[in-house]
Amino acid sequence: MSQLLKQFIDTRKRTEALCEPLEIEDYVPQPAVFISPPKWHLAHTTWFFEEFVLKPHCPGYNLFHEKFSFLFNSYYNHVGQRTVRANRGDLTRPTVKQVYEYRRHVNKAMESFIPDILDNVELVDTLILGINHEQQHQELLITDLKYTLSLNPLHPVYKPGYSLVDKIQQEDKTIKIESGNYKIGADTNEFVYDNELNRHQVYLNAFTISSDLVTNAEFLEFVKDAGYNSFQYWHDEALGWLETNSIKKPLYWAENDNKWHQYTLNGLQELNLAAPLAHISYYEANAFANWKGRRLPTEAEWEVASNRFSWGQRWEWTQSAYTPYPGFKIADGAIGEYNGKFMVNQKVLRGASEATYPGHSRATYRNFFHPHLQWQLTGIRLADDE
């Protein structure tokens, strides 16, 4: 078996393993537009291989269902019309059983086809992209599910012991980076996303950066100091977000009987004060940094310093806008819609999280989200000017 075929099979199995603890009722709800139901993730990641590998390139491939391209396309305008994003949870049909049948149908075709395309560089690149795409969706599946379960007053347990937010840190030091010219970005023959290209030079003033992420205990002090009610720490747009959504604390936090708790995938737990803060928006991250008299690092600072600290527990907000690197070009066709068209009104996050697929991380990885979003495993690392 080729390494590529094994990677495909392992990735597909892991997605379904994440769904093993679910009840059938868990597969469908979509309580917010920014999340998707598990059933949709299972089908969409399957659609990617069918749409971009099997349909155009596999002779004699038979579509599982002619309407699935409409139902499970996400945002690829080149492919055609699609279900409105906010309506993904309204799809009671196809059933969960049929979606798993769809996965088996595509898996069988792919497993037969992959050995025939190993010499086709373009097709192999598409296949590798599809594997990484599914790995991304595994993290989204679990964080989307957490948001849905968190709205249930029974505080359901997804899987006993499966928290993702309790691991504590070991370091506690300040790292100094001297001023100078540095190179950032990817320059490798290994897989990277196009938004990581091209490697280029940046000049950085001297700065310091924390080896540790901000903990729950540190952020709790901000909450207790009326940080959410102190306008001077917040962007004007963020103040509107706070007021509109009545936000006074981080997502999943709750104060019960004078004790702070946090909803986790292991149910409602007492807040682990020593653990890194999670599920925080850029607005909150920046306000906290202002309250501390510090700041968030830029993505270039983060990348240059990243070999000096441990990372991978939280996606870490930077103060950098998500914009193209020098020489970036959007690829032709639908694949070109993967990253480039989102380069507006978003902030870059670096690192990885406890929910990230093993190996699906690197120092050049550029994640990105709108500044108000909280539901990912996002955290804060602080920096200072020298």
- Reported as a single tens digit per residue, the pLDDT across 222-237 is 999 999 999 999 999 9
Shared domain for 193 and 88, answered yes or no, is no
Per-residue confidence in pLDDT tens, the chain, 386 aa: 799 999 999 999 999 999 999 999 999 999 999 999 999 999 999 999 999 999 999 999 999 999 999 999 988 877 788 999 999 999 999 999 999 999 999 999 999 999 999 999 999 999 999 999 999 999 999 999 999 999 999 999 999 999 999 999 878 899 999 999 999 999 988 999 999 999 999 999 999 999 999 999 999 999 999 999 999 999 999 999 999 999 999 999 999 999 999 999 999 999 999 999 999 999 999 999 999 999 999 999 999 999 999 999 999 999 999 999 999 988 888 788 788 899 999 999 999 999 999 989 999 999 999 999 999 999 999 999 99
Q: How many domains does the chain have?
A: 2
Shared domain for 249 and 125, answered yes or no, is no
**157 inside domain:** no
Diameter of the chain by CA atoms?
Answer: 66
Domain encompassing residue 308: 174-385
Taking alpha carbons only, the member of 167, 314, 344 closest to residue 250 is 314
Output the CA–CA distances (angstroms, integers) from residue 72 to 44, 47, 118, 147, 205, in the order listed. 5, 6, 27, 21, 46
Shared domain for 238 and 362, answered yes or no, is yes
The CATH number that applies at residue 307 is 3.90.1580.10
What residue type is assigned to position 288 of the chain? F
Shared domain for 128 and 275, answered yes or no, is no
Shared domain for 183 and 144, answered yes or no, is no
Neighbour-count burial for 327-366, b at 16+ CB within 10 Å, e otherwise: ebeeeeebbebbbeeeeeebbbbbbbbbbbbeebbbbbbb
**156 inside domain:** no
- pTM of the predicted model, to two decimals? 0.96
Shared domain for 113 and 184, answered yes or no, is no
Shared domain for 279 and 371, answered yes or no, is yes
Shared domain for 35 and 123, answered yes or no, is yes
Shared domain for 288 and 369, answered yes or no, is yes
**164 inside domain:** no
The CATH number that applies at residue 33 is 1.20.120
Shared domain for 104 and 202, answered yes or no, is no
Shared domain for 201 and 135, answered yes or no, is no
- Based on its alpha-carbon atoms, the radius of gyration of the chain, rounded to whole angstroms, reads 22
**162 inside domain:** no
Shared domain for 125 and 236, answered yes or no, is no
